[in-house]
Structures are given as structure tokens and as C-alpha cells.
Structure 1
Amino acid sequence: MHKGLGVILALVSMSVIGSNSIPFKDNSEIALTLSQGNYNRIFVKNDKIVEAVFPEKAMAIKRDEQDGSVYIMLAAANPFTLFLTTEAGHHFSVTLNSEESLGKTIELIPQQPLPVKVTPRQTKTSQVAGTHEAIPEAILAMLTHMENKKPFTDVVVTRQFGKAQRWGRGLTLLPKESWDGRLLKGETIELYNGGKEPLELSQEWFAKKDTLAIKFSKPTINPRERAMLYRVAGVDHG
């Protein structure tokens, strides 16, 4: 079940005691044991929980609009997974177990910052947005073949099955292919906008130290839509 947490799903009449602080990292999974018969309070330090996804009828939930915490009463006896998203863009999952106890208060503490949007080196070949004369023909050829999914001589294309990366504002990155040549290497990455606002893509978000060129299949991703990122870098021969 997907819950927009602005809606009250249960009236809260509870006695919550006890407090625990638990660290978490983005895209990680933590385990919590909560009271089966009482409400439990969960909050993220210096942040607000804005979205929760969990199995239907597994629990009742209410959000405190003031501090962004959520109150949870478990309905399922068996463990299940709760996926949480915060206002600052943190994404993580919680395996919930139950026990007979009084309600608990759990503080979750982020252990790493959101992805930093780096600025690429200001070279003539750093951005596709520049003139064609400033971009070597080999880089343009690599981008064109990647976009058209047409491998060419001396380049090995490998299907990628990497874990999705969830960034702020609902942006998710899913690796698709790697292109490995003698002088250049490329990446094809699917971008998904899971947020509520359109995302105007910036090359600076995705540039790495060795990036030579970046291209998008479209400049803006509307909510629930996808775009492709094509990134080309040089090969380090040591």
C-alpha cells in the first residue's frame, strides 16, 4: 500500500515510552522491533517523513504535520518491509518485527549526506552543449552509437544489473549498459522521476572527474517519466 502521509489513517490514542537512536544510510535496510498492541513513534533527525510504502493492512499510520514524525500500530504479526522517503530526499527501508511491549519512540539518524552535485572540469570537451568543433569526433561517435544502441568495432557492450541509486527530489538512477573501448568508455543510465515536480536535468549533476561528455535523451523529466543519460569518459591506461 502506498500512503500519502498528509491523510490521517487512524485516530491516535496511545501511550508511547522509551526512546532509541538508530543510524541509517541512504538505500540501506534497518530492522526495528515495535510494540504489537500500542502505537510507536518514528522520526528522522532534522528531517520529516513524507512518504511510506507498506503491505496493505499491515499497519495503521498517522503523520504529525508539525514535526514530520509518524505514529505506527502494527496489525501484521509477521515481519514486513516499510519503505520511507523524507523531505530532504533520503530513501531507505525498515524491516518491522513485533513484540508485546509498550509503545516505543525511535529516532533515525542519517549517516551520509545526499549526493553532491559536482562541477566538471572546464575543458572544451566537458559538455555536449558546446559547439561540435569543440568535441572530438570519437566522442560524438560514441554518444551516437550509444543512443542508437549500435555497437561498433573494438567496443565491448556489457549489460549492467547494478543497484538503483536514489537521489533527492525523487530522482532514481538505474545503470543499463557499459561501453568499453580502447580510448573511450561509456555508460547508459536510465533516469526516473519519482517525485511530484518536473526535473530539469543538469550535466553538472552527473559529471565525474574523468567525464568528457554527457547527453540526455530529453532535457526535462516530468513526474513518473523516464529519460536516458549517456556519459563518456577517457580510459586510464596507467
Structure 2
Amino acid sequence: MTNSIYEKAKKTILLISLLYSGAVCASTPPSVIAFEEGEQFNLTLSSINFNRVFVEGESITKLSYPEHAITVDKSEMDNPESTDSSVYIKPNFQVPITLFLTTDKGHHVSLTLTPDESVGKTLRLVPRAQTKLKFVKLDTPDASEVDEAIAAMKAGETPKEFNEKRVIPSPFYIKKNIKVTLEKQYQGKRFTGYVYRL
């Protein structure tokens, strides 16, 4: 009889261990989706359970989708005191449908949802940091470089990194009574300077 008590205790402990390890293995962290502005994702969500969607550090302010295509519990979204701002959704369709999300910080994401009969999922959307691009026109001379060239020409000197080109002075009129004559021409790598006499 003592053997059977020990056997039952062993079986009970083994069963509890298996159930506990199964419960630990069954817990899954939320799916993390890093997104850029306007990005689109194809996802499979449960059509028999609610699925939680939230944007890290932001609040979902608007959902756009075909009417009656999705059951939405947005009680967290509508609660101004909530720090969660989660939206719970359940697809009511059998074909892929697109859900558009807008956040309080102006981000937009589109999710193309395909239903299946799995357990509900948690989707954690994380906005990627936008990289600021700096555009530089290579043909635009540096303002100080232009100022130095003009100052040298005013002083009657050849600007730095310029060559004086030979010119044939020929007068022309810029208005009826204003006559100008080209006196000197300087050629640089990126631009040309002219000296005129009135």
C-alpha cells in the first residue's frame, strides 16, 4: 500500500510539472512589428478571439476599415485616463481586409488582416526613428567663397583659385542710356567672375 501512495504522489507531481511546463511554454510574448511611416504589413489574426493591437509610446486615435468587417473594442482608446491605448479587434470576414491605423503623433500604418481560427494575438507596433536627410546641392558655391571672389575683384586682384582670361573689350547697352564694357573675366572651377566698367 505504501508503494501505491508513492506511485500516486509521483504521478501527481509529474502531471503538475508537465502542466506547469506546458503553461510556461504556451505563454508567448507579443509580436513586435517595427514600422516606418505609411508602411503596410500582412498579418494573420484570430477570427474567434479578440486580438490586441497597440503602438508603443503612442495612442491609436483612428481606425479605418470596411463597415462591419471587424468587431472593435476601443474602450481603452476612448478612455482619456488610460495609459494603455490598446485596441481589441476581431475579424468578421473570411477574406483579407485592410485596417488603417492613425496615432496621436501622426503615424499611419496599414495592416492587411487574414483571419484564422487560432488564439488571439498581441501586436506591439514600434515606430522606427526617422532619419533626417540633409540635401546639399553640389553646384551651389559656398557663400563665403563667393564673397571672397567679389572682394578680390573689387580690389583689382585675381580671386583665389581663379585664372584671368583675356577679353576683347566691347561695349554694350543694358538700358538706352547705360553703356557697359567688359574689362576682365575670371574663370574658376565652379563659376565665372566678370568686371564691367560703366
TM superposition score normalised by structure 2: 0.48
Structure whose residues are more often strand by fraction: 1
Structure whose residues are more often helix by fraction: 2
Which of these two proteins has the greater Rg computed from alpha carbons?
Answer: 2
